[in-house]
Structure 1
Amino acid sequence: MKQSIIALSLVGAVLGRPGVNRYNFEKREVPQEHAHRNVNLEVSKSLQLDNPDNIQDPIFGLLGAAAAKAGAGNIADADCLQQATADQAFTNAKAAGDVNGMTFALIYRALERNTGSVGLASVPCTSIQAVNPEIAALQQHQDPASDGAAALNKQIAQDLAAQIGAIGGDPTLANEASTFAPGQVGDPTAKGNTCDDDTDDAGCINSLGLRVDDLTADEALAAAQGGAGAGNAAAANGTANAGSGKANSGKANQNASNAAADACNANSGTAANNAGNAGNAASGSASNNAGNAAADAGNAANATAGAGAGAASFGSCSDPTVTFSQAPSDGRQEAAFEATDLTNFPHGSALNIGVISSFICDQLVNKCKADQAAVDQCDQADAAVKASGLKGQAAADSFNQALGF
């Protein structure tokens, strides 16, 4: 989001009253925080149920830090106001068993924030840890003209779809967080492609057809696949299960079959080699026995790594494994899956291994610059573990072993 001049005038008493959803501040030169007004309105409903930090209104979390401070209440770091607002709204909706409220809190967390010029990325929240791991797993969309925004925003939308599916919501709603088409970097008005209408309850980005969706419906469903896991997550959170099992696509099943076939072929080759080695050993040749021992060691490694592991390079990310932890690092109060290397694979924990394994495979492409062999191997391992029905440590071991770890 873009803004070159911020002239914010808060009517605090009005904004703070429950049921008041019109945001009363002076028009700025290039505002657009009302573009997703439909999302703001839903989050406002949840926030008003319990607001211990006195956050004035969800709209402030979408502003730049200087303007956001006016409505931040007790949140000291204005760059974390969006996350804090989403976190409190999610907590309230979860306590009420409101899947729709939780869904829109997640969407709100992924909305783009205002910045000072076209192409300028917004500052991430680093000083506050979200209470809800579902919120902690997300970040805000970035200006679509900023460096790497297309790939990053799509990744954010996929993460959002996965979290929505995990709480029993409709993953295709992840596109509600999508932003505008890229503006022209250097635009002296700092306007870009925006809209702003604080009377359009549907959100002017939607009403005017300006929203550029990050995902197709199939991509959103694929990001949330692993229906049984999503159902378990919903039950654990005390929420309704919306039947996210439909996210298991034929493509995933096909990939699982391919992975199984590859593993079978690898094992068959190993068995044949071992049989040949055994025959050679019987010949009594010392040199053959030495060679056979080396071959057997190689075969064992191949059996562990799976098909093609020897040729795979994971790029700058040396540990793409999954950990199943009884005490996840993000504070979740139940055993869950998370990436072992949270620096290169920053994602909140999940009850469904598919959420984490899919994210890891995506990061291999977007961040790690892994080669195609590694990406294919990860995709096969991802599909196989989702189709296996394995749970807990067994699921983590299966995925990791398929990657050669």
Structure 2
Amino acid sequence: MNRRAILRRSAVAAAAVPLAAPAIAQPQAPVLRWRLTSSYPTSLDAIHGAAQVFARTVAEMTDDRFQIRVFGPGEVVPALQALDAVQAGTVECAHTTSSFYIGKNPAFAFATGVPFGLNTRQQNAWLYEGGGIDLLNELFRQYNCYSLPLGTTGAQMGGWFRKEIRGTEDLKGLKMRIAGLGGTVLQRLGGVPQQLAGGDIYPALERGTIDAVEWLGPYDDEKLGLNKVAPFYYYPAWWEGAATTSFVANLEQWSGLPRSYQAAIRTACAEATHWMVARYDTRNPDALRRLIAGGTQLRPFPREAMDACYREALALEQELAGRSPEYRKIHEAWSKSRDDMRAWFRVAELSFDSYLAQAARR
């Protein structure tokens, strides 16, 4: 074979091989360090722990390039000032209960739960599929914030009382630590609501500064030692058939995040929410048994008192809708979802649960 033929074949072979594209530098995700202030005592491994689960998940999803350090209440700002700190940019984000801030706008209650409102599954459905997150963020934007659900407690207990509640009359003059619109309902019936952070409620109850306190449920209440200073444990918390806790970020900081980091936060919030309610559901039963064995007297709220609170809660809804445009807008969408889901739950969920409760009792 002559030299010219060899050269021709080499040229054809070379043409068949695609040329390597020049390397194009891909922008690397930034290294970020955020601070998160929690409104919940560090001793409570479920509700405070949800923020730790959230932060760990964000770090894992970003190969540790986005790290969020969790601070307990008082380490950076007091528990009930978390929203203010995020709004001002003192910290980048918080894990808090939005109903703490109904003094700013009563519509904040919807991010947590309203009296005689939705249960855990219904609240989750309204937030994620009923437009709740978007509606709430119209409100949060007014405070330079962006928010997502981060944790839920399930239905809560009605709290610890020094004296027995036999009817509506026993609510008059009752000084009770109770947050959100539940406190407003209690006030309409003659009670004296007090808003205290989790770390302050034991000493207030022990000293007699308050007569009763609601916090969450057996697992947390036992850790806080509330059974040591009040004998009567009431149920249910008609003001929190479900209580959703919130991730709140400074709006400018949130908007400046890469989309992949925003997606990591959304995913981590959902992960922490599933984890938190599962932790309570698996640990509350044993905690309740221990409390009862230790002398706690478990009591249902009298029907008369429940009915009176229900009437006042419905009246309050209408009054707030007439006063607050933000409350009215959210309430219109929320109440339609509530009514639709209640109709469905009566057919399926409620009938199933009611039968099993009766069958197990037999």
Structure showing greater radius of gyration is: 2
TM-score (norm 2): 0.25
TM-score (norm 1): 0.23
Q: Which has the higher strand share?
A: 2
